[in-house]
Chains A and B, each alone.
Chain A
Amino acid sequence: MNAAAAPLELRDLHVAFGGNRVLEGVDLTFGTGFNGLIGPNGAGKTTIFNVISGYVTPSQGDVFLAGEDLAGRSQSARVGAGIGRTFQAPRLILDATVMENALLGLQQSYRWGHLAELLRLPWSRAEERQARGRCMDMLERFGLAEMAHEDADSLPLGSQKIVEVARALVAEPRVVLLDEPAAGLGADDVTVLLRGLRGIAAESDLCMIIIEHDLQLVTSLCPHIAVLDFGRIISEGGPDDVTHDPAVIEAYLGHGFAARLEAESLGVEMTDSETPAGAE
Chain B
Amino acid sequence: MSETGTAPPRPLYKPRARGVFGYSELVAVALLFGVAALLPHLPYGGLNGPYWHGVLTGILIHTISAMGFNLLVGWAGQLGLAHAGFFALGAYGTTLLYEDGVPYLAAMVILGVICAVVGVVIAFPAARLKGFFLAIATLAFGELLVKLIELGPEMWDWLDTGASGGRSVKKVFSIGESNGPLTLYFTALIILLITYLVMLVLTRGRMGRTLKAVKDIDIATGPIGIASTRYKLVAFGISGFVAAIAGGLYAQDIRFLSPASFKDNMLVFMLVILVLGGVGRIWGPLLGAMFYILIREQLASFQILRLIIIGIALMIAILALPYGFASLPSRVRDSRFGQHLRNMPLARLFTL
Contacts and interface: CB of A to CB of B under 8 A. Distances in A.
Contact of A117 (B201, B226, B227): B201
Given A96-B212, A136-B12, A149-B11, A117 B207 contact: yes
A56 B201 CA distance: 36
A232 interface: no
Contacts of B227: 74, 76
A107 B201 CA distance: 17
B14 A99 contact: yes
Contacts of B210: 104, 107
Contacts of B13: 132, 149
Contacts of B223: 53-55, 75, 78-79, 85, 87
Interface size class of B (residues with CB under 8 A): 20 to 34
A236 to B, nearest CB: 25
A245 to B, nearest CB: 31
Given A100-B209, A107-B210, A118 B201 contact: yes
Nearest to B234: A114
Interface string A169-181: 0010000000000
B225 interface: yes
A41 interface: no
A175 to B, nearest CB: 12
Main secondary structure, interface of B, reads: loop
Contacts of A105: 224-225
- Interface range on chain A (Cβ under 8 Å from partner): 35 or more
A103 B209 contact: yes
A92 interface: yes
Contacts of A104: 209-210, 213, 224-226
Given A75-B223, A105-B225, A93 B12 contact: no
Interface stretch (B142-150, B153-161, B165-173, B214-222): B214-222
A94 B216 contact: yes
Interface in B188-241: 198, 201-202, 205-207, 209-210, 212-213, 216-217, 219-227, 234
B10 interface: yes
Contacts of A78: 223
A129 B13 CA distance: 9
A254 interface: no
Interface in B56-93: none
A12 interface: no
B206 A128 contact: yes
A110 interface: yes
B222 A93 contact: no
A110 B206 contact: yes
Interface of A: 53-55, 74-76, 78-80, 84-85, 87, 91-97, 99-101, 103-105, 107-108, 110, 114, 117-118, 120, 128-129, 132-134, 136-137, 140, 145, 148-149, 167-168, 171
Interface of B: 1-2, 10-15, 198, 201-202, 205-207, 209-210, 212-213, 216-217, 219-227, 234
28 contacts: A55-B219, A75-B225, A76-B227, A78-B223, A85-B223, A91-B217, A92-B216, A93-B212, A95-B212, A95-B216, A103-B209, A104-B209, A104-B210, A104-B213, A107-B225, A108-B225, A117-B205, A118-B207, A128-B206, A129-B12, A133-B12, A134-B1, A134-B2, A140-B10, A149-B11, A149-B13, A167-B224, A171-B225
Given A55-B223, A114-B202, A128-B206, 14 more contacts: A55-B219, A75-B222, A75-B225, A76-B226, A80-B225, A87-B220, A87-B223, A92-B217, A97-B14, A104-B226, A105-B225, A136-B12, A149-B11, A171-B225
Nearest 3 Cβ contacts at the A-B interface = A75-B222, A79-B225, A91-B220
